[in-house]
Chain A
């Protein structure tokens, strides 16, 4: 009987412990949640989807450089591993960049005439750059001294500045111009099909209600025309750059402007669609 009473007395106590444990868990869980809210994951909205896979490469390079910087600020002698890791980070990132460009060149689909020749030429260039990269990678991953690492790093720096970047940059421009041309063609086709349906749509609207629709149509026409002009300017600058002339404009500024106008035309298409659905 006594034993029973004792056990009965213990019951509220264990319930309290359980309650306490539950509260602790709840508090730590909500603390974790708050922390998660404080540090949102990075978003890369301006980076094209195709390039997002190389971001991990950039981030790990930044980490190894941070480590190098810590050693430098501690005035400690630089160790081989820290240098080798940072150098490998640069090599690996360059490799990823080339892979990404190659993928994008192939994703351009069917190209005609000069464009196809240009693409083939660029794919050959990529293969040459990749071969050179492999040679550097092999030599950087051997059991080598600090001086040897520094020599390879110098070689990579010179190679990136004199061979890699000047060869890669036109490829990037070519991809941008070609993608933008395709976007303009598609937007233009959409505009033509809407224009073909104009009479039908006018019939649908009663009297003055056709006004806003026609205004949007005219606006989209203007935007696509302007986007085409800007893209032609980008093409002209690209041709000049290919011929060795730097030109006085920026290809990416022209592409950016043209792309924004195509987006604006699509805003108008969506507004027209909403207008007729009302």
Chain B
């Protein structure tokens, strides 16, 4: 659903993964090439579902878009040193998890300027680092860590297998008893007792 904010500006409702909705200006949304490709021409009937991303992330992404509405058209990546104070604050106040969520959302929404700034920021983090230093920064697991992880996973798999086998066994037993109807159960017991009685009488 769209809600007119003014005669010249349209607002769109965005739906997040939590099912919450919030509105974003058309001008901000138009910075998303994904939006332009999907909704700009056909319009949106109801909230636009960006349900792979949570509300906080989407709000952060569109906060950036709202801010850069009046900036000149994007013409390639800008060096971090040329970023405004607002831009720097925008990036600095995010923790790593939020930053990663914002890059992923920005990448999905295809917001060139934001994606490019985020990527340049990561590149800057790695600038001047050699291979060993990069391995540490990009947290690649070492061979020992991989081996330990594999052992833990093997143990977990073995334990899960045991539990599954035990559960299957119990289920089988219960199933044999539960499957017989009451009358049949009575008849079976009666037959057993009769056989026992007959065997006694023969003796």
Do A and B form a real pair?
no
Residues of B within 8 A of A (CB): none
Residues of A within 8 A of B (CB): none
